[in-house]
Chains A and B, each alone.
Chain A
Amino acid sequence: MFQTLRHTFFATFALLFVTFSVAFAEEPAHDHEAKESKFNIGEMIMHHIADAHEWEFAHGLSIPLPVIIYDNGVKVFSSSNFYHSPDATHEDHENHVYPNKALGYVLEHEHIYPIGADGKANKEAHVLDFSITKNVASLLLSAVILLLIFTSVAKGYSKNKGKAPSGIQSFLEPIILFIRDEVVKPAIGPKYERYLPYLLTLFFFIWVNNLLGLVPGGANLTGNIAVTLILAVITFIIVHFSANKHYFAHLIKPTGVPVALLPIMIPVEIVGVFMKPFSLMVRLFANITAGHIIILSLLGLIFIANNLGGGGTGWAVSPLVLIFTLFMNVIELLVAFLQAFIFTLLTSMYIGSSIEESHEADHGH
């Protein structure tokens, strides 16, 4: 069952991917504005990884998103006011600068600044940008997807009471059980049930967003440091709010350490406390971003070849590049699950070690 679903998923994904790649490969043909400019792979990759105030599915096909800024009062307007601003010159577009004089703001490399007296961005002024960016929109979308999936799974338990699970319930139940029985229970111990809602949400949130990030046109949400930062901070807070006195005592006086070493060990322990969530934050961010960079770099090879050889060179190298990219995508599918699993496992272990009653002399860090 799972095997078939997975194969279907792979097949669908591969199909989507090929479609996307072909659309991408055709891009230079109607990219008449930037015909002369050299293809800059670094810029292209950064553009795809970074957040944006519009959701671009393919070149020229984008949805404007609402801009919400706090600048002595909340202001809400569409991001098309920037991207399709009458004040933005061709050169501004090239430089990713979109001024809108009527609004008095400029969107420069996805940062919003007020327009100063000199007509340029006033970078000293602080405008708080709470816009529904591409990442925020993707975040909301994933929240809706998670709610829909898991409320329907939950409904399955009342509908199929006393019967075998069916549909999406039977697909997700083994994964939920895996997280509960193989990850959370062994790591936390008998008090695991309190933490289960957070850990299950964490796992499925990361997994679904990793997968959404792999869908062509999707946002790089879990590869954004702000997202992983919040997840790590919540984990940090939960770990330290549930920690017992053994945990804190262990920080001040690590067991089995000679007194002479304490001046070294105590700072090490304290650094360790912050290192754990920090490593969680960086691991997820770096893994997902790196995966995106690799895939985008591979696709970028097509354009580099086109720039070097001209004519049909881009087309010529596409099949080989596609094979590599497809391979990378399959690996990324694995990584998507793996990173969600690791984040959940490590969070469970940190919680488990903070509520542990008696410390062993050599418990790991």
Chain B
Amino acid sequence: MELLTPAIGLLFWMLVVFVILVVILRVAAWKPIMNGLKEREHQIQSALDLAEKTRADMAKLQSDNEKLLAQARAERDSILKSAKESADRLIAEAKDRAGIEGKRIIEDAREAINNERVAIVAQMKKEIVTISLDIAEKVLRKELGDKTSQEKLVADLAKEARLN
């Protein structure tokens, strides 16, 4: 039958054209297409890998951060605690020292005042004696300017002495 007998011309052209087509397409089309596809697949895969790695890194970083934060918080607490303690201690010490010092100053002041007073009293005694002597001298000079008055004084003194 006509349909089942291959024609030599078509066999020849088909072989030539198809083989050339495979050769050309292999170089001009399939190679760049397959390379492009492979490259894209590789890119997608590496992008996915990178995303996965980044996610893991982020998680690690976050947990690290949390750890650091907790550590920092603990450190801050301990620093605050010790600071408070030392502040308290300082205050207490200062208070104690201030108390002692105050007492000492007061004591000193008291002593100084006492000394001053004693000195002043002594001074005053001396002054009073001097002044009394002066006055007595002056009075005596005036009183005992004449004979009668001297006698009278002697009499008075004698009287007084007796009374005493």
Contact = CB atoms under 8 A, between A and B. Distances in A.
A131 interface: yes
A197 B35 contact: no
Interface in B1-30: 2-15, 17-22, 24-26, 28-30
Given A193-B34, A198-B22, A46 B11 contact: no
B46 to A, nearest CB: 12
Interface string A142-158: 01001100110111111
Contacts of B94: none
B10 A227 contact: yes
A176 to B, nearest CB: 6
B102 interface: no
B29 A150 contact: yes
B28 A150 contact: yes
A325 interface: no
- Interface size bracket, B side: 35 or more
B106 to A, nearest CB: 91
A150 B21 CA distance: 11
Contact of A133 (B9, B26, B34, B37): B9
A196 B34 contact: yes
Interface residues of A, number: 49
B13 to A, nearest CB: 4
Interface in A274-291: 289
A140 interface: yes
A46 B5 CA distance: 14
B43 interface: yes
B5 A154 contact: no
Contacts of B25: 146-147, 150, 197, 200-201
A3 B108 CA distance: 111
B38 to A, nearest CB: 10
Contacts of A225: 3-6
Contacts of B2: 46, 50, 109
Nearest to B25: A201
B33 A176 contact: yes
Interface string A217-243: 000000011110111001000000000
Given A50-B2, A136-B10, A227-B10, A154 B33 contact: yes
B3 A151 contact: no
Contacts of A146: 21, 25
Contacts of B21: 143, 146-147, 201, 205
Contact of B7 (A177, A226, A231): A226
Interface in A152-191: 153-158, 161-162, 173, 176-177, 180
A37 to B, nearest CB: 21
Nearest to A282: B4
Best-buried of B31, B33, B37 by chain A (most CB within 10 Å): B33
B9 A129 contact: yes
Interface SS, B side: helix
Given A197-B25, A201-B26, A129 B13 contact: no
B8 A129 contact: yes
Contact of A289 (B3, B15, B31, B43): B3
A316 to B, nearest CB: 33
A49 interface: yes
A231 B21 CA distance: 13
A248 interface: no
A155 B29 CA distance: 8
B17 to A, nearest CB: 5
B18 A230 contact: yes
Contact of A226 (B10, B30, B37): B10
B30 A200 contact: yes
Nearest to A163: B40
Contacts of A162: 40, 43
A180 to B, nearest CB: 8
Given A50-B2, A130-B13, A289-B3, 7 more contacts: A49-B3, A135-B10, A136-B10, A161-B36, A162-B40, A205-B21, A230-B15
23 contacts: A109-B2, A129-B9, A133-B7, A133-B10, A136-B9, A139-B14, A146-B25, A147-B24, A147-B25, A147-B28, A151-B28, A154-B28, A154-B33, A158-B32, A161-B36, A176-B33, A196-B30, A198-B26, A205-B18, A224-B10, A226-B6, A230-B14, A231-B18
Q: Which 7 A-B residue pairs are closest in the complex by CB-CB distance?
A: A157-B36, A226-B6, A150-B29, A197-B26, A226-B10, A154-B32, A230-B14
